[in-house]
Amino acid sequence: MLNDPPNDEISAQRLLGLPPIVSGNTRLLVLGSFPGAASLARQQYYAHPQNHFWKILQAIWPASPLEISVDSYEKRSNWLLDRGLGVWDVYASCEREGSLDAAIRQAEVNDFASLIRRCPQLRGVAHNGGESFRHAKFTATLGLPVYKLPSTSPANASWSFERKLTAWREVVAAAGLL
């Protein structure tokens, strides 16, 4: 070994999140916690093939086919925006090894107040999972309804796809996007 530091001296790398997918027509913003390793590597929200995010939204809006492939990210992003849905994360940056929310350290919260100026039609914020919802106090200051959604992550195996879909459909309907 060439002067490798002991394991307890190795720190997690500082990671930067992804820019929001929003427009002036965004009415519901879905906030994750922070992109997983697959999403960061591809620079795409919900890029892990086992994540239910895209599949749930396709089931909510089945009349509008969605191409779910790595090459179609711009199309998928526009598909969301066309329906009034935006995507962002609670954390702008953090230190983390792996993809689990439990491994997030030294997190910096995104500037949600600036989002109101970019999204004048915003009518609600939905937190995708428990880690994101822990920061509902920040999004509640926007004066909008705040919803807690079950995580679409494959780590959330205690919720079936159908159960997740039902919860997500209720929030999308409450935001007037159905």
- What are the catalytic residues? 51
Question: Distance between CA 116 and CA 121 in Å, rounded?
Answer: 8
Question: Distance between CA 56 and CA 34 in Å, rounded?
Answer: 19
Number of Cβ within 10 Å of residue 71's Cβ equals 7
Question: Distance between CA 112 and CA 116 in Å, rounded?
Answer: 7
Q: Which residues of 131-140 are buried (b: 16+ CB within 10 A; e: fewer)?
A: bbbebbebbe
Task: For residue 3, give the amino acid letter.
Answer: N
Spell out the alpha helix ranges (H) of 122-160.
130-133, 136-140
Q: What CA dihedral angle connects 57, 58, 61 and 64, to 10 degrees?
A: 140
